[in-house]
Structures are given as C-alpha cells and as structure tokens.
Amino acid sequence: MNIKGCIFILSAAVMWGLIGPISKFPIEQGINPLENAFWRAIFAWMLFAVHACRIGQIKIAVKDLPQIIGFGIVGITIFYGSYQLAVQDAGAALASVLLYTAPAWVAVMSWLLLGERMGPLKITALVITITGVACVSLGPQILGTGKEMNFTWFGIVCGLTSGFTYALYYIYGKTLFARYTTPTIFLYALPIGAICLTPFFEFTHKTPISWGSLIALALICTYGAYSVYYAGLKYLEATAASVIATIEPVIAAILAWLWWNESFDWTGYLGSALIISSVLMIVMEKRIELFISSYKLSKTEKVSDNI
C-alpha cells in the first residue's frame, strides 16, 4: 500500500474528525448551529472559488444547473445544517458516529435508484448498522446501564439525516462529480447552500475564538480535508481510502472526550463499533466475497481430492 497515499487519507480523516469538536466552541458561546454551517459554507466557498479560478475550471453547462442547485440544498444546506444540529443536541462524538451510517444509506439508495445489487453482505451490513444505531441511542434505556442520556431524539434524527444527505454525495458522484472538478461544483453549490440557510437563524456577535473556529471549519475541515483526500486517491484505490477514513469517528470521539468530556457507556461503544464494522463490510464487499468464494472453492477441491 502506498505510504504517501495513506498519509493523505489519514490526514483527511483527522481533519473531518475535527468538525464536531471544533464546532462546539462557537456553539458553547451561543452561536446558532445553523450559523456555524453558514460560515463554514461561505469561507469554504472563498477557498474553492480561488482554486477553481486558478485551474481555470469555472464553467458549467446550463442543463446541469438544476442538479447543482439540488446539490447545494441537499449536500450543503441540509447536510451541513443537520450535522451542526446533531453536534449541539447529541454531542460531537455521537454526531460523527451517526454520520457514518452513510454507507448503509448508499447501499439502499444505490439499490433503489441505480439498480445496483443488494447482496447478502450489504443486507447484513444494513442490519448491523441499524443494531449499532439502536445501541448508541436506546442502549442505556433498554439495558438499564445507568448512564444518563446526554442527547435529544432531535439530535439523533439530525445525525441520521446528516448520514443520509452525505450518502447522496455518492449518488451525485455518479453524475455531477463525474463531469466537473470538486472546486467547480463547490464554487456554485456552497453559496446556494449558504443562502438557503439564512432564513433559519439570526446573526449574532462572535468572539475571536468563534471566528477562529468557523474559519478552521472551512479551511481545515472542508477545503483542506477534501483537497488531501482527493490527492490521496491518486495513490490509493477508493476502497482502501474508505477503509482508512473510518478512523474519522474515532478521532472525533477522542477529541470530544479530551475537549468536552463526552463519553459513551459500553452500549454506545458497542454500537459505534458495529456501525464502523458495517462500513468496512460495505466498502470491502468485493474483497470479502472473493475471499468467501476462494474459501468455498478450496473446500470443494479438498472434498474432491478425498473422493
């Protein structure tokens, strides 16, 4: 495996893992989560605009405008907004774990919308994902572990919504992202998403810490993360990159514990492990199926030799 590619992907995962813990700084200072999402989009747009102009990729076809607008609303307004709300109401660690239900959503939507096969492995992974979500959200109540719930059900719904809307990046990737560079798409999608957020919050006074956090969300967690991730894809297969990127919720959980004293009970950690396991099952589906087929073939050959 290419070391340079691994370093790029790990860097991207760490940057994405910072989103929740960094977002809590302005939230704790009274900034509306949706205003967090707005400034993240605006500052990131400035960076992607410079990038798109520098590489000379600023044109899009008029026929693609409806898709760009749709992506701006779903992939920026709803995704950025729901994730920030999940951080506020469920915590940075749990928000990151729920975001990683995205591969399960991808499997279902690819089956329904793109006609892709929904094999036994994906179905198993889907069941494991649902079990994992149940553990992190219902575990303390069902099993009576005594751990006080430090989230709201609205936060859980927002976390699952962020996972669902993030999964749509894959659907758009089959069409929109295949025709344009990432800076070109974000050049148009980010301001659309930011504008659609404005009716839902009021601008408030921000301290230097809040401004620094908002800039970091755009510079490090958005522009920087996407840039190094796609740089890593030049050296690694998408499957390998996806496996390495699963360290993101682990980073988020560690930082949320260190910075904000967030923690799960054992059911929460079990649920988190199940969700991450299901992600690995989905992204490594072909390799797992190939291994199972090879194992079955070797068993058949041994039986034949014995006969």
Say if pTM beats, i.e. exceeds, 0.85: yes
Q: What is the pLDDT of residue 109?
A: 85
- pLDDT band of residue 113 (cuts 50, 70, 90) is confident
**What sign has the CA pseudo-torsion 175, 178, 180, 184?**
positive
Give me the pLDDT at residue 36, please. Answer: 97
On the question of pLDDT at 300 being above 80, the answer is no
Percentage of the chain modeled with pLDDT above 90 = 58
160-203 confidence digits (pLDDT tens): 999 999 998 887 877 787 789 999 999 999 999 999 999 999 99
Contact call for residues 217 and 40 (beta carbons, < 8 A): yes
pLDDT digits (tens, 9 = 90+) for 222-246: 999 999 998 898 888 777 788 888 8
What is the pLDDT confidence band of residue 260, given thresholds at 50, 70 and 90? very high
Of the two residues 159 and 298, the one the predictor is more confident about is: 159
Q: How many residues are present in the chain?
A: 307
91: left (phi over 0), alpha (psi -120 to 50) or beta: left
Q: What is the DSSP string of 114-148?
A: S-----HHHHHHHHHHHHHHHHHHHHHHHHT--PP
Contact predicate 121/289, CB 8 Å: yes
Report the SS3 class of residue 236. Answer: coil
Question: How far is Cα 35 from Cα 219, in angstroms, rounded to an integer?
Answer: 16
Cα distance between residue 15 and residue 306, in whole Å? 55
Which pLDDT belongs to residue 303?
A: 57
Q: How confident is the model at residue 117 (pLDDT cuts 50, 70, 90)?
A: confident
Residue type, 7: I
Instruction: Give the pLDDT confidence of 17-41 residue by residue, as tens digits.
Output: 999 999 999 999 999 999 999 999 9
